Amino acid sequence: MPMNDYVARFAAAPRSFKKSYAMLVLAWACHPAFLFSLFQGRAAVEDANPWILKMVVVSLSLAILLFLIKPWARALVVVGNFFVLIYDLFFYVALAPHRKISTVLCVIVVLFVITGTYWLFVKTSRDYFTQLNPKAGNPKGPGG
Q: What is the pLDDT of residues 17-57, one digit of tens each?
A: 999 999 999 998 898 888 888 777 666 556 666 777 787 78
- Number of other CB atoms surrounding residue 102 within 10 Å: 22
| pLDDT tens string 54-87 | 877 888 888 888 888 887 888 888 888 998 899 8
Closest to 27 (Cα-Cα) out of 142, 113, 118, 117? 113
Determine the average pLDDT of the residues in 6-24.
90
CA distances from 101 to 9, 34, 35, 57, 65 (A): 36, 8, 11, 22, 29
Percentage of the chain with pLDDT > 90? 26
Mean pLDDT taken over the chain: 82
How many Cβ atoms from other residues are within 10 Å of residue 90's Cβ?
10
The whole-number pLDDT of residue 143 equals 46
Residue 129 pLDDT exceeds 90: no
Q: What does pTM read for this prediction? A: 0.80
Instruction: Inform me whether the pLDDT recorded for 6 exceeds 60.
Output: yes
